[in-house]
A and B are shown apart, each in its own frame.
Chain A
């Protein structure tokens, strides 16, 4: 295990993976809440054009990619805020122009090769340079500090834009901040995860976290922990298995999601059976004693559903129907 730390490039890749794995889900949670899960993909497309321009002009591909990604992010929010129906199409054009320009320009550049392109698109552990690491550390710090200071505001705006605007929050500015955070994350992730798979690392850990978390704060913690573990493990596996790091990391994350979803579904089934048995005893053994209230009374929040000739009450996902008993009202399970 420690053999891989003997290699400079592996130390750099693992450091980058550590930052990417933690930061991407922390931004992704707001992106998912805003229902813009694919925004990272679009910005990644444009970042590829930046990489290509960097390679062609002999400047740092990472820095030029950062400029391109930030410009695309700001443009995206301005187009969305204008509310024009053509906006969706305009953004699609921007993204496809970005990736097309990227592919063509990379092939024209002196260092351009199909292998190089694959490394940018899908991630490669050997490509992170020392200079990249310095920039990545700066970007990771920027994202972490912004989320720490503005996290509640990002949450409020992502959760309910209409309310946020009415209550006087600067919605457009906050949305631009979030878009710039996505751009920073895209560039930070492009060496290890690759430009085509960044969105997955922003979104899939959040999808896993929302299966188990009870609050937004918990979702952030679980998602970041998932991203961190998957990135480090994926990077390590890609060293031994000689696979692209981005694909390996994302496959691990998706596998973790599937396992979590299955375990959760099984647990829910077990819980439902136990619950039903307990209720069965209450209704037939004792003929009453349903919780502490009669359905339909003030304070009862179980939704009422009209069912043929009577009213059922939705209760933990199933329905109760009232039935007169010796002691009062009992509830049958449906």
Chain B
């Protein structure tokens, strides 16, 4: 809402995005926290277009706060955070169509039944203008997003009837339906069994293959197999390592 620039036209979910020179994410010397209390100190983090970065760290290391800073949900106390060249400030909805967010949730099913298509449709509201009536193309975009995560045939299924891994993929579809170029995933594999994790990783591979940049918060780098290009580790609110991941070695683990 407080963003300058106009580079936020939503795109069709399965469109391959042309590479651009602007970094997908650039965090420079950023101190992020809540109110005056800093949690992340002087962090640097870059994600290039089409690149996948794993964000590692123990509980309390500041991973969530860094992610919330990127999403405009925490205070950036000093330094700066840019998403696709747009400045992020607390309360500014940078994420609206620039960043797709997949929150960590143990269960997608709420108290009231909803279908996969209904959940994914929520992802269109902010970029479309939530007060506007639905457009004719909305349904196609929802189906395209579900298709991209391999759930085209489950659009009308109750999310409560889907497996844990499928529910996560519905949340990924909700995040990509507005056509963002950066996807932030918070512990996508947590609580998902091995077999479903494989399908989930395949989905991440495909999402990355369309040219989107990924920032994946995780406890277990091995579970993401060959998806991450780099791994950044946070400890006590500071970036302590930033290394490229040799994909071949990881496949064996």
Contact = CB atoms under 8 A, between A and B. Distances in A.
B196 A167 contact: no
A298 B158 CA distance: 22
Nearest to B3: A168
Nearest to A297: B195
Interface in B21-36: none
Contacts of B46: none
B79 to A, nearest CB: 21
B103 to A, nearest CB: 5
Nearest to B92: A168
A214 interface: yes
B71 A304 contact: no
Contacts of A218: 113
B43 interface: no
Contacts of B127: 167-168
A156 to B, nearest CB: 4
B194 A216 contact: no
Interface string A164-177: 11111100000000
B140 interface: no
B95 interface: yes
A210 interface: yes
A215 B115 contact: yes
Contact of A153 (B105, B125, B171): B125
Given A32-B111, A167-B96, A217 B118 contact: yes
B187 interface: no
Contacts of B121: 152
A214 B101 contact: no
A8 interface: no
B165 interface: yes
Contacts of A214: 113, 115, 156, 158
Interface string B139-157: 0000000000010000010
Given A168-B126, A210-B113, A214-B156, A163 B195 contact: no
A132 B193 CA distance: 57
A314 B234 CA distance: 37
A156 B122 contact: yes
Interface string B113-131: 1110011011101110011
A168 B194 CA distance: 34
B243 interface: no
Contacts of A165: 73
Given A166-B101, A298-B198, A298-B202, A159 B162 contact: no
A216 B114 contact: yes
A191 B96 CA distance: 43
The main secondary structure of chain A at its interface with chain B is: helix
Contact of B122 (A159, A215, A217, A296): A159
By size class, the interface of chain B is: 35 or more
Contact of A166 (B71, B163, B165): B71
A160 B127 CA distance: 17
A162 B103 contact: yes
B115 A210 contact: no
A35 interface: yes
B164 interface: yes
Contact of A150 (B71, B123, B130, B164): B130
Given A169-B130, A298-B199, A210 B111 contact: yes
Contacts of B72: 166, 168
Nearest to A305: B193
A300 B112 contact: no
B118 A155 contact: yes
Contacts of B73: 165-166
Interface in A210-236: 210, 213-219
A223 to B, nearest CB: 9
Nearest to A212: B113
Contact of A29 (B99, B105, B112): B112
A236 B127 CA distance: 48
A169 B111 contact: no
Contacts of A216: 112-115, 118
B199 A301 contact: yes
A163 B101 contact: yes
Interface in B154-208: 156, 158, 162-166, 171, 174, 178, 193-196, 198-199, 202
B196 A303 contact: yes
List 9 A-B pairs, minimum CB-CB distance, nearest first.
A168-B93, A168-B96, A156-B122, A216-B114, A301-B163, A167-B126, A168-B126, A166-B101, A153-B130
Interface of B: 1, 71-73, 93-96, 99, 101, 103, 105, 110-115, 118-119, 121-123, 125-127, 130-131, 133-134, 150, 156, 158, 162-166, 171, 174, 178, 193-196, 198-199, 202
6 contacts: A156-B125, A165-B73, A169-B125, A213-B113, A217-B118, A301-B163
Interface of A: 29, 32-33, 35, 149-150, 152-153, 155-156, 158-160, 162-169, 206, 210, 213-219, 295-296, 298-304
Given A166-B95, A213-B113, 18 more contacts: A29-B112, A33-B110, A153-B125, A153-B130, A158-B110, A163-B122, A163-B171, A167-B101, A167-B127, A169-B130, A214-B113, A214-B115, A215-B156, A215-B158, A216-B115, A296-B195, A301-B195, A303-B193
